[in-house]
Structure formats: C-alpha cells, structure tokens
Structure 1
C-alpha cells in the first residue's frame, strides 16, 4: 500500500506501534498522539454523568422514588463485568471500530458485520440523543435559548422543535472539529472532562451542604410501598442503563492512542469506575437535598435541574447548569468521534456502501473526513424525527441503548465460547505492550466474569426492550401509538432490514471492484 509521505514519516516516528498495527492487517494512517488522560476523557465524556443524570434523573425518580438509587450500583456492577472483557480485548486487538473488530475476530465475518452495523446505528442515534440534551439545560440557563415557542419541555411541540435546532447547531460545530483534527478534539474533550469532574465534585459538596435528610433516604420508596416494588425498580434501572455505556470509546481511538495496548485497558476501566463513583455520589447528594421524596412531586418533572436551582438558588444553580452545558457539548463530540471511527473501520474493510469514500484519511488533517460528515448529516436527520413526534425522544433514548447492549453482547457471547476453547492463550498476537509491559489479563477470573457479562447483557437487553407503555408511549406525550410502545422491536427490525439492504449493496460494489481488476474481463491491449 502506497502511503502519503507525511503518513510514512508519521509511521516511522512510531515504528513499534505501526508495525504492531501492520501485524493486525492495517497500516498506520491515523495520527497517533492521544495520551492516557485524553484516552480516559474519551470514555468518560461518552458516559458524561452530568449530562445524562440531568437528563434522566426525573425518569428514574418518577418510577421508583428515592429507592431508585439502588439501580445505579446494580447496573454499574453489571457493566463492570462487560468492561473487564473489553479491557482484555483492547490489549489484544487495539484497533479502531473496536466492537466490529473484536466481534469479527471472535465470531466470524458475518457475525462481526452485524455487530458493527448494530453498533453503528446505535451510535448515530446516541449522538442525536446527546445533542438533544441541550434543550434540557440551555433554556433553564437563559430563556433566550428557547428560540421557538415558550414551552421548553421535550414532550411539547415547541420544545422538541427547539431541541432539534439547538442540536443541529451543536452538531455543525462537533462535525467540523471531528473533521479538522483528532488532537483538537482530544484537547477540547480533556478540558471539558476536567470541567465536568470539578463541577460534579463541587455540586456534590454543595448539595450535601443543603441536605435535609440522611443517606437512609435511599430506602424510601417515594410513597409506592414495598409490595410489588421490583417492577418499579426494573423500569427505573433504565436510567442507569442509559447512562453507563460508552466506556469502550477509549478502544475506538486505539489507532490514535500512544501505547494503545497498555493505555486502552486502563482507561476503559477508569472511565467506568469514575463514572460509577461520581454518578452514585451525585444521585445520593441530590436525594438527600431534594425538596420532596414523593413520586408525585415536582421532582418527577423538573428532575436534577429543579433540585439544584431549588436548593442552591438561581445564581449558583445556573453556574452548575452552565457546567452541564459544557459536559453535554463534549459528550456529543466524544460520541460522534467514536461513531466516525466505527464507520471508518468498517469502510476500510469494504464492509459499508461507498467504502472507497468513507475509508479515506485526509493527508493534511490525518482524519477520516468522509465519515465525520456522513455521521453529522445522519444525526441531523434523526433530530428531524423529534420535530414531528415529541414522544420520539424517550423512545429513541431507550432504543439506542438497547442496540448498544446487543452490540456488547455480540462481543461477550462469542468471547465466552472462545474462552471455553482456551482463549487467550492460543494465538495471542503479542505478549507485551509497546513499552515492554505485560498485556492486561483477567487470568483465572476471566471465565466467571465472562459468564456474568453475558447473563447481564441478556437480562438488561430484555429489560430495555420490554414494551412498557409508560416508557415508550407515556400518557403525557399525547395519544397512544402502538408503534411507540413496541418501538424497540420495530426499530431493531428496521435496523436489521436496512442492514440487509446495505450488505447487498456492499456485495455488488465489491464485486464490481473485483471485476474491474479481473484481467479476463479487462484484457490488456494486444
């Protein structure tokens, strides 16, 4: 493969990792300049506890009251089982498009293609959902951000339309950054994550200083009683399920990370661990300071933003909300970058339509500009759906996370099968990191943790997809629509159908390339 001189120079400047990547079947085309903290920031900002907890606190509280707190450590533990598997895989195969690459190597090309496709669709929708978060915080920060109408609620026509406008403005900015430079993205992400970590720490302290009750509030069911409380907790657990995903983003940037084999495993686990710790403390502090513990109160409507402004006052409350705005912006940027790398990785293997365009790396910016633009356009198209159907936000949030869990399961399930066959001792590609250290290994804990990861993935996928009317088509968003209640199955079916069409297009386009290279079809002149 002939490389641009700049790329050749960059490859030579990183000979160990470039050779390492070459052994895995690829050349070093992306710019490898992401350090440990920037890698951690990629995973932490995807989770973005400030953004998502502010978005979804009201959801969890409205179904199970203060007791919904226990769903957070439960989901964190389940995702930790998954994160351990990803950490070990990222040390073995540090490649962009991690979910697609891992599932392909573990389950075969068709299996990997389906996993990659599901993950790609999920990430596109997740970018849109993250961008919509601005509607939750910007009008609360200043009413002037409500450009359309006067009702900022996401379930209203004016609120959903304004959310799409704010989201498109943000996506235009993040798409530009994504296309210009991964280093610029990493710097912005790192600054944003630092602001988020400082902000969430100060917010926890501030809320604890205004607490009205002790930590025993987490045993309060909000007036629902204890009989039959488990179903309420199962629904409320979707809040934590929505939040604690995306920690694998550090692996998505492996080809741009220094010493990826050593860095990615640590940052995957750190991103999830920090999110679990700070998110749990934030939930506890908010519940201790909440103006009410009843499910049928303003807390179920206003959520975290209501608690913050009610307890800390309008001025200080707006300062913290401003920090949430920063977190929402870097969260959207991080998810979009991860999605772009997934699209680039699949296109590089000629696994997507128009792969020739989508697999190009700019010799000037060292970024895949084509995927960055396509992801931006597709995400804006998803935002348009929110304009026509205000109830679509909750449905989209549930569905995109369900698809992420399915994609995760398509890695952990074949991995479990491979472990029964003796993996990773057989066929390990490299025994050391770029700095000469041992690769991350789970050792004797690998098999039991993998079993727990698969069981957890199946259980949570079912929980997310369950057609609860209160989740997918609640009364307050308008008339009942059957397709919203069963939206998880409808959207999964649509995703697979669209994938089947895309796969056929890929086969035709690849065959056309092969035909053009066939000397029998293109004989040389006599």
Structure 2
C-alpha cells in the first residue's frame, strides 16, 4: 500500500496475474509434451543439448530448491509477525520487536521440521484440512469484513488511490516495487506437474492443472485483496502511522472489532502454518530427489530415508536449518523481509526461465508438441514469459526505499549469489565428474510410496541401440540410463 497504494494492490495484482498466466501457458505446453513427474528438472534434461544437460539441470534444480526453501523463511516470518501483532493488541505492554519475532519464527520452523519428520501418512490429512481452511477462511474474511466494516471507502478510492512513501521521486518505480507482493503470491504453480505420472491422461490433465492453479489463485486472490482494501477506513492512521505490524491487523481491528480480528488473524495464521508445512515437505522431497543423483553436498546423508517414519529426515532438517539461517537477515536489516520475499520470487522465476528459454531457442525446431500446445502463438507467448521473468527478477533486486542506506538496502542478491555461486563452484570442482542429469531421481522409491511394489526382474531389450535399459515396476516402465545403473 505504501508502494503504489490501492492501484498497486488491485490493478497491479491483475497485471501480474495476466503475465504470470503467460508463464503458466509456456510451462503447460512443455508439461504436455513431457508429462513426467519431476517437472522442471526433468523437462530441462529433455530440452537442453546433450552436452549442456548436466549444468542446465543442475542450475534449474538449485533455483527450484532456493525458491522453495526461502519460501519457508518468508512464510514463517510472516506468521511470526501476525502472531506478534495479535499478542500486542491483547497485551499493549508486550514489546514485539524483531528479536521476539525471530524467536517465534524459530519455534514455528522447528515445529514444521517435526511435522515433516514423523510418519508420511499424516501429510494427506494435513493437506485436506489446509484446503478447506483456505477456502472457507478466505470467504469468511471477505464477507464478514465487508458487512461489519463501517465507513468503507468509495470504489473510486479502492481502484484509483495512489501512494508513494518509498522516498523515490518516480511514481512509476514505486508502483513497480509494489508488484512484488503479487508476484510472490503467484508462484509455485509448477507443482501441478510433479504428480504427472499419477494423473489420468496426464498429457492433457497436468497442463490444465498448472493453468487452473494460476487462474483460481488470480480469482480468489483478487477477491481477498479487494475485500481487505474496502476495509481500509483511514489510510494514514491504519497503514502509515500504526505501530502494529503487519498493518492488516490494524485495518481489521478498526473495521470489525477485537473479537473478529482475532478470528481473522487466526484464519490467516492457520493458512500460513499449513503453507509453511507444505513448503517444508516439498523442499525436502526436492532435496531428497536431487541428492539421489548426488547433485548436492552431503548427498549420502540427504538421500537417506528413515526406516520407521519413511521420511527423508536429513533433507527435512537441512532445509529447516537453511531457512533459519536466512531468517537472520530479518534481524540485520529493516527491509530484510522484502529481500527474503524477493529471493523466493526470483529463484522460482529463474527455475521457470530455463525450460521456457530452451523451448524458445535450442529446442524450437526439435520440440514435439503434446495434446496441449499454443500453436502459432507459442513463440510470442514464450518470448513474453521470458521477458517478464527477466524484468521482474532484475526489478526485485533493486532498492525499495530512498535514500538508500546500509539498513534499508535490498540485500536479496547476497543469499541468491552466495547459494547459486556456491552451487556452480561445487559443480565445477566435483559434481560434474559424476552428475549427468536425472537418474535415480526418476525412479520410484519404495520407502516414499507404499503403493509401489517392486518387481525384482530387470528386463533388457534385445535391441539396445539406444544404450538404455528398462526397469519394470508393476505396470510402470521407467527409462534409466546406464550411468545411474553403474553408480
């Protein structure tokens, strides 16, 4: 709201949703051609030239991991902020400074680590509860908020109010900075492709899963933002001058009263808690799969499965520790939360950029389209997607306040460069000697999937000209190259 006002919130969200849908279209086309579980990492191995497959897959996997793991930090820090705001309105003497918020954040991250270290059978129940919590909670906040809030602003204010409290003279730049919230929200939709091999008619269904994810998020996100913006009665008092952080709590408090504010914040905190747990689960599975191909340091530990819980416990706690370390930035820098959100958004976008750019350039003539494709519009949409990703990635590395000081500088580039740079150095020094692309990560794991029973017979086709073998697992054939079998 302080970087573009309600225009950045409402029209900015719609703008981001349109361009993000272009990115989703580009990924959906690739997904239809390669309906294989593993998503981005696997697609790149099919699109890149053979000599570039290892490094392209490696960078994509690491970007995907950074996006997921830093998302744990941003989500759980946001939850810690909301929890602190609830405590502060209940007890005005409570000083919810950044040190207390970071301490609460550590407790939340630790709980998520425990949840994802216990038996895997509880994850399904957790996801079902999360689904209904989000749907019912969002509708309750919007409906009750609009009904109870007195002195609601006019439609003109909601759709046309502009505010620039960034310190920069350029209103256009302030508006662009305000797009970070929307772009941060509209990410992670590639997850629909992760279950391709378990989806009926995956070449058609999985691409639409990606598109539905962006479409429904766009619709419900717009409803939520529109509803909350109509609850803002005094911009200066509720947004600029309030001492409660996040300011949304103050908006609720003035609009619907104390009791409903507690209900609303509990709904939001519950949604964040479920989201953080899901991110911990997803990032740990990515680390586990990536480590099976020895693409990460300490892969021998990170690829282990606990025999009792059937969960990759080492991978879970590696992500928890990394998320906690990234959270230290929140203490050191006043605008660190935006920086952490930026890293999350940029890394996820870069993971999308690699397969889309390969489809647009290297594989332009060799790409075999699936049932869902963009036809003659493919080059145009893919170009728009790449330009949008590059533009937003560069934008979210820029400062968000002026004058720029050591305290408010956007340090998003620090963890991004440190992790990606370290990963590339590790690849050049060690990983390139044995990492050749997807291998064991494409094979089902009997510990993680209780419904898969392995046939011990490995059948070798008589015609082995493609230098491949076929591992028969019940009714599923998984192609694995000789490199993974030799390892």
The CA deviation at 1:292 is 2.1
Give the alignment partner of residue 88 of structure 1, picking from 29, 36, 52: 29
Partner of 1:481: 406
Inter-CA distance 257–321: structure 2 relative to 1 (3 Å threshold): farther
The CA deviation at 1:376 is 1.8
Q: CA RMSD in A?
A: 3.2
Give the alignment partner of residue 175 of structure 2, picking from 209, 212, 233: 233
The structure where helix makes up a greater share of residues is: 1
CA contact (8 A) 1:90 1:261 kept: yes
Partner of 1:202: 140
The CA deviation at 1:252 is 3.8
Provide the C-alpha distance between the structure 1 equivalents of 2:201 and 2:318, rounded to a whole number of angstroms. Answer: 30
The CA deviation at 1:73 is 0.4
Provide the C-alpha distance between the structure 2 equivalents of 1:261 and 1:176, rounded to a whole number of angstroms. Answer: 36
1:353 aligns with 2:297: yes
Inter-CA distance 380–337: structure 2 relative to 1 (3 Å threshold): same
Provide the C-alpha distance between the structure 1 equivalents of 2:302 and 2:5, rounded to a whole number of angstroms. Answer: 47
The CA deviation at 1:352 is 1.6
Question: Which residues in structure 2 correspond to 1:428-447 (within 5 Å)?
Answer: 439-447=371-379
CA contact (8 A) 1:104 1:113 kept: no
Q: Which runs of 5+ in 2 are unaligned?
A: 436-487
Question: Which residues in structure 2 correspond to 1:95-494 (within 5 Å)?
Answer: 95=36, 97-107=38-48, 108-143=53-88, 150-152=94-96, 159-209=97-147, 210=149, 212-222=152-162, 229-254=171-196, 263-293=205-235, 296=240, 298=242, 302-362=246-306, 364-389=308-333, 391-418=335-362, 420-425=364-369, 439-470=371-402, 480-481=405-406, 485=409, 487-494=411-418
The CA deviation at 1:412 is 1.5
CA contact (8 A) 1:181 1:367 kept: yes
The CA deviation at 1:301 is 6.3
Provide the C-alpha distance between the structure 2 equivalents of 1:360 and 1:185, rounded to a whole number of angstroms. Answer: 19
Provide the C-alpha distance between the structure 2 equivalents of 1:257 and 1:151, rounded to a whole number of angstroms. Answer: 50
Q: Provide the secondary structure at the position in 2 that maps to 1:248.
A: helix
TM-score by length of structure 2 reads: 0.77
CA contact (8 A) 2:2 2:163 kept: no
Inter-CA distance 296–309: structure 2 relative to 1 (3 Å threshold): closer
Deviations 1:471-512 (A, max 9, x none): xx97xxxxx318x6252333333223211333246438849x
How many pairs align? 422
Provide the C-alpha distance between the structure 1 equivalents of 2:300 and 2:164, rounded to a whole number of angstroms. Answer: 57
Q: Provide the secondary structure at the position in 2 that maps to 1:487.
A: coil
Provide the C-alpha distance between the structure 2 equivalents of 1:376 and 1:350, rounded to a whole number of angstroms. Answer: 20
Provide the C-alpha distance between the structure 2 equivalents of 1:407 and 1:495, rounded to a whole number of angstroms. Answer: 14
The CA deviation at 1:390 is 5.1
Q: Provide the secondary structure at the position in 2 that maps to 1:420.
A: coil
Q: Provide the secondary structure at the position in 2 that maps to 1:351.
A: coil
Deviations 1:123-173 (A, max 9, x none): 222211111112222123334999xx9332xxxxxx322222222222222
Instruction: Decide which moves more: 254-263 or 82-91.
Output: 254-263
CA contact (8 A) 1:409 1:454 kept: yes
CA contact (8 A) 2:85 2:246 kept: no
The CA deviation at 1:183 is 4.0
TM-score by length of structure 1 reads: 0.72
CA contact (8 A) 1:123 1:400 kept: yes
Provide the C-alpha distance between the structure 1 equivalents of 2:267 and 2:156, rounded to a whole number of angstroms. Answer: 29
Provide the C-alpha distance between the structure 2 equivalents of 1:329 and 1:199, rounded to a whole number of angstroms. Answer: 13
Provide the C-alpha distance between the structure 1 equivalents of 2:281 and 2:205, rounded to a whole number of angstroms. Answer: 18
Inter-CA distance 312–116: structure 2 relative to 1 (3 Å threshold): same
Partner of 2:420: 496
